[in-house]
Structure 1
Amino acid sequence: MSTGPEEQAELEDRTGSGELSHAYGPRVHILDNLLLRSGLARMSSPAPRLHEVIDLLRCAYESLLMAASRELPSVDAEVETRMAQAHPREGVFRGQILDPKTPIVVCDVIRAGLIPAQICFERLLSVLPDSLLRLDHLNMSRVCDEEGHVVGVDLAGSKVGGSVEDAVLVIPDPMGATGSTIVRAVEHYVAHHGTPRKIIVLPMIATPEFLRTVLDIREDLVVYTARLDRGLSPPDVLSLPPGVDWERERGLNEHSYILPGAGGMGEVLNNSWC
């Protein structure tokens, strides 16, 4: 059933914020960057070789993590620069930086999430103490029925290095399709490893269906994505800003693959078609 104008969601104006305006609510952030979108367009096509795809993926996740870093706790700091020897007072940087006392756990959702998680982990290691950072590995795979429909997720063989109690949990899974993987990941952590203080989900590409699913998991979960794909939505819905007619937006085909999407990134990134 079509959503009437009186039922349409309120559009949030993100002009000047580096984000696209949308009506999915304040916990969703869709980056608005031409260079980033151009890279995703090329990465999604059959044209680039694997090393190009990985390079473009690295650029995408550097951008996503930098944007999402606003969600991390910060502290006021004073740091002497190389100019402090000649100018003891003026040669000191004073401002906010990431709180070095915040524990952060990056979750690699195998297979597609392996490289994005490593990228995020390495970048965080460049500015935060080793002792408070961890990279976990969840061996999650789709479970499909005889007709190819996704019906669940298998977690056998996962490696989790400890508690996530009061930590920030970062999940950089590139393809935000159904959201079932994120649901299962969060359920696993909360059931077996504690309750994180915040969850930051970083899909490279997300769908309206994904957003609807993951936003219902917890109120402290936020999503940062580089692209919102809703290619199977009716033309009149596509003429509206994202989220305004959320009920009729559709980005998944009958096998839960994203359209326009980028294909199976787990296979692409590992050059392993199985």
Structure 2
Amino acid sequence: MSAPHILNHPVIDDYMAKLRYKECSPEDFRRFVRQIAMLMVPYATSNLPTRSCSVDTPLETASTRVLDEPLILCPILRAGLGLLDGFLTLLPQASVAHIGLARNEETLTPEPYYFNCPSRLSEAEVIVLDPMLATGGSASEAISELKKHGAKKLRFVCIVAAPEGLDTLQSNHPDVPVLAANLDRGLNEHGYILPGLGDAGDRIFGTEA
């Protein structure tokens, strides 16, 4: 089991201060999430496998490297969509999978209600996106579903993580690296991250009560 990578990047921290502010508008919230996502891309992809190749420059042939495997981005609906645009801006060649999860009100566990994934899932590097890692239930279920459909090389990216969510995700999927922009204090009695930033999906899409 690898330790989670917590960025604590000064520029991301500056955006996080704006993102956490309770009066941040949905428009600004989406923009800050997108900017944070773009800053996280180099860290999320730093160890992707590459292969050597040659290209002709205007002056001579150069030896260089290119990505060696297909890349799939998988936002967990709906909040994960907020991270998707930033990742696609820097990774336009990536395909996109979608997975939707709903809570079973009897068991209180997340259950998939929608799954759509490109082909070659088993060959691809899959990056699962969700702004918040709270209890870890949704992330664990999404990764289990992807594995069930053949995914073998996965990594999980979030903006804010709680220690409880990290423990759950790493216990259920010790093979999946985790990258988070910030590690917060913990969860309240309702499962919300403290200090957190509220319900990311509601704040991204302007559906807060």
Normalising by the residue count of structure 2, what TM-score does the alignment of the two structures yield? 0.89
Candidates 116, 127, 136, aligned match of 1:159: 116
Residue 72 of structure 1: how far off its partner (Å): 1.1
Moved more, 158-167 or 34-43: 158-167
Q: Does 1:73 align with 2:28?
A: no
Q: Residue 195 of structure 1 aligns with which residue? A: 151
CA distance in 1, matches of 2:8, 2:20: 17
Where do 4+ consecutive residues of structure 1 move more than 4 Å? none
Q: Residue 85 of structure 2 aligns with which residue? A: 118
Residue 163 of structure 1: how far off its partner (Å): 5.0
Normalising by the residue count of structure 1, what TM-score does the alignment of the two structures yield? 0.69
Greater relative CO (CA pairs within 8 A, separation 6+): 2
Q: Residue 260 of structure 1 aligns with which residue? A: 195
CA distance in 2, matches of 1:264, 1:256: 11
**Contact 2:6-2:182 at 8 Å conserved across structures:** yes
Q: Residue 54 of structure 1 aligns with which residue? A: 30
Q: Could you report, residue by residue, the CA deviation over 1:19-53 in whole angstroms, capped at 9, with x for unpaired residues?
A: xxxxxx74411113111111011101123222221
Candidates 190, 202, 205, aligned match of 2:160: 205
**Contact 1:173-1:203 at 8 Å conserved across structures:** yes
Moved more, 198-207 or 155-164: 155-164
**Contact 1:204-1:227 at 8 Å conserved across structures:** yes
CA distance in 2, matches of 1:204, 1:216: 20
Q: Give RMSD over aligned pairs.
A: 2.2
CA distance in 2, matches of 1:120, 1:155: 23
Residue 59 of structure 1: how far off its partner (Å): 1.3
CA distance in 2, matches of 1:115, 1:49: 14
Q: Residue 88 of structure 1 aligns with which residue? A: 60
**Contact 2:75-2:128 at 8 Å conserved across structures:** yes
Go from structure 1 to structure 2 and tell me whether the alpha carbon gap of 1:157 and 1:221 turns closer, same or farther (over 3 Å shift). Answer: closer
Structure (1/2) with the larger strand percentage: 2
Q: Residue 138 of structure 1 aligns with which residue? A: 99
Go from structure 1 to structure 2 and tell me whether the alpha carbon gap of 1:142 and 1:44 turns closer, same or farther (over 3 Å shift). Answer: farther
Q: Residue 17 of structure 1 aligns with which residue? A: none
Residue 134 of structure 1: how far off its partner (Å): 2.0
CA distance in 2, matches of 1:272, 1:187: 29
The higher radius of gyration belongs to 1
Go from structure 1 to structure 2 and tell me whether the alpha carbon gap of 1:117 and 1:73 turns closer, same or farther (over 3 Å shift). Answer: same
Q: Residue 181 of structure 2 aligns with which residue? A: 226
Please tell me the residue identity of whatever aligns with 2:60: P
Q: Residue 67 of structure 2 aligns with which residue? A: 98
Identical positions, percent:
26
Q: Does 1:28 align with 2:7?
A: no
CA distance in 2, matches of 1:38, 1:271: 22
**Contact 1:27-1:221 at 8 Å conserved across structures:** no
CA distance in 2, matches of 1:208, 1:228: 7
CA distance in 1, matches of 2:8, 2:146: 31
Q: What are the ranges of 5 or more consecutive residues in structure 1 without an aligned counterpart? A: 1-24, 231-250
**Contact 1:121-1:135 at 8 Å conserved across structures:** no
**Contact 2:126-2:151 at 8 Å conserved across structures:** no
Moved more, 202-211 or 112-121: 112-121
**Contact 1:105-1:167 at 8 Å conserved across structures:** yes
